[in-house]
Amino acid sequence: MRARLPIRPLCRTTISAASRPAAPQFCPTRSFKSLAKVPSRAPRRIATKPTDSEDLILGTENSKLAFKALQNDPSNADADVEQPKNPEQTFPETSVFGTTDERTVEETQKAANENRWWQLARAQLDPAPRKRRLWERKKVIESLQRRGRITQDIKLARTERSSLYRSPELPTSTRKITKLMRQISGMTVEEALVQLRFSKKRVATDIIKGLLAARDHAIAARGMGIGLQRTVEPSPEDEAETPENKPEAEELSAEAKKAEAEAEAAGKTEKEMEAERKAAEAEAEAEGSRRFWEKLAREAREAKKNSPIEVELRNGKRRKVVDPTDIYIAQAWVGKGAVKEMSPDYRGRGKVYFLTHRSATFSVLLKEEKTRMRISDEIKKKRDHRKLWTALPDRPITSQRQFCLW
């Protein structure tokens, strides 16, 4: 089997190609060395006149001369070519192509630990940044609407401290936990812990854990319950009488001998020296008695300051407050939680009921005894300034008619 080839068209193409004049060939004006230095993605340039390569393709006289010069001396190929200058590039701090870090391994690890600690702390200190910014914006708008006037709530928030704690969902019902919340409401944290410790309720152990967490958060985050210093601060005179500040016996004896030698040199008699000694002792005794009575007065003032103060509660009961910074449970309430699960309860005749296991949460608002002291003062002032009740007040008679209304 022989192949059938188109002879005539092939011959025509060959003859026409032989008779056609040679087309100009493209010859680059740069060597491979210079081309390698040009960036692969150079900025596109819009030329208004033909370039060297276009001149070579068109077969102009300049291109021929350049081609001859390149053939004669290929080393001059890079002479007339201007290499593009790379601009100084700047990288962000997080880039891997940036400047090398000159810190040591320990410093880098320390910085990483600090950054990690800040990320963990920010999740607790600022869990919802967007909501916080919206709340701050709202408060700023309210302050501008009030024209800078401070409300009573803002004043109390600046002078008194409080802490709110909400427990996680506990596997119990609201009816069971409400009784314990009513029991500990109004007590100090220590008193509530004692009551819950001896309670027979199963959920009391979970409330103890939540109350301890609330107390720790109030102390660490709000600075509550730090307490007062009940010790008497020594005066400068008392500090001067401490054993560290008193001169030693040898120095006192040396000074006494020196004083006697000066008295003998001055020609004083023994009687005069004895009189001066007695006068100095009387003066020291008077100074000591003055310090003693001042110290006693300071102790009395401190004792009066640290003495328990009797306050009146809202329900009419009275209570003694020793430390104004003690933490007490101002409010305690209970809330419903989500339904945890439903377990089947199989009955007779193929019936199946489902038992719902509910959950509940409790919240406590902790405050300091300063708040109860303020409330007691307000109750007393309100009682003192109330108007005297009268059976027949002196007021004008209105709606008079000539007949009875009944």
Q: Are residues 150 and 177 in the same domain?
A: no
pLDDT tens figures, 211-240: 999 999 999 999 999 875 444 444 555 545
| Same domain assignment for residues 328 and 379 | yes
Task: Tell which phi-psi region holds residue 311, choosing left (phi > 0), alpha (psi between -120 and 50) or beta.
Answer: beta
Tell me, what CATH number does 322's domain have?
3.90.470.10
Pair 144, 198 in one domain: no
More confident residue, 184 or 252: 184
What was the pLDDT predicted at 88? 56
Q: 13-34, pLDDT tens digit by residue? A: 444 444 544 444 434 444 434 4
Residue 148 and residue 166 share a domain: no
pLDDT tens digits along 85-137: 555 556 666 665 655 557 788 888 888 888 888 888 888 888 899 999 999 99
Q: Are 60 and 187 members of one domain? A: no
Token pair for residue 59?
A: 């077969």
| Residue 208 CB neighbours (<10 A) | 16
Q: Which is higher by pLDDT, 10 or 90?
A: 90
pTM of the model as a whole: 0.51
Report if residue 215 sits inside a domain: yes
**pLDDT attached to residue 132:** 93
| Residue at 109 is within a domain | no
Q: How many structural domains compose the chain?
A: 3
Instruction: Give domain status of residue 365, yes or no.
Output: yes
Residue 188 and residue 58 share a domain? no
Please provide residue 318's backbone torsions phi and psi, each rounded to the nearest 5 degrees. Answer: -115, 150
Q: Are residues 153 and 177 in the same domain?
A: no
Query: Does residue 337 fall inside a structural domain?
Result: yes
- Residue 289 placed within a domain: no
Q: Are 344 and 293 in contact (CB under 8 A)?
A: no
| Res 372 pLDDT > 90 | yes
Same domain assignment for residues 149 and 191: no
pLDDT-based confidence at residue 55 (cuts at 50, 70, 90): very low
User: Contact at 8 Å (CB) between 206 and 170?
Assistant: yes
Q: Are 198 and 58 within one domain?
A: no
Separation in Å, CA 337 to CA 166, 173, 180: 12, 9, 17
- Say yes or no to pLDDT of 269 above 50: yes
Residues spanned by the domain of 65: 24-35+50-76
pLDDT confidence of residue 123 = 82
Same domain, 167 and 155: no
Taking residues 193-213, report their average pLDDT: 95
Averaged pLDDT of the chain = 75
For residue range 165-176, what is the model confidence (pLDDT) as tens digits? Answer: 999 999 999 999
Q: Is residue 270 part of a domain?
A: no
What integer is the mean pLDDT of 370-392? 91
Which pLDDT does position 208 carry in this prediction? 96
CA 362-367-373 angle, to 5 degrees, is 140
**381 pLDDT above the threshold of 60:** yes
pLDDT of residue 266: 62
373 falls within a domain: yes
pLDDT tens digits for 344-361? 999 999 999 999 898 999
Q: Is the pLDDT of residue 304 over 60?
A: yes
139 within a domain of the structure (yes/no):
yes
Specify whether 61 is located in the same domain as 207. Answer: no
Q: Determine the average pLDDT of the residues in 156-170.
A: 94
Task: Pick the more confident residue, 216 or 390.
Answer: 216
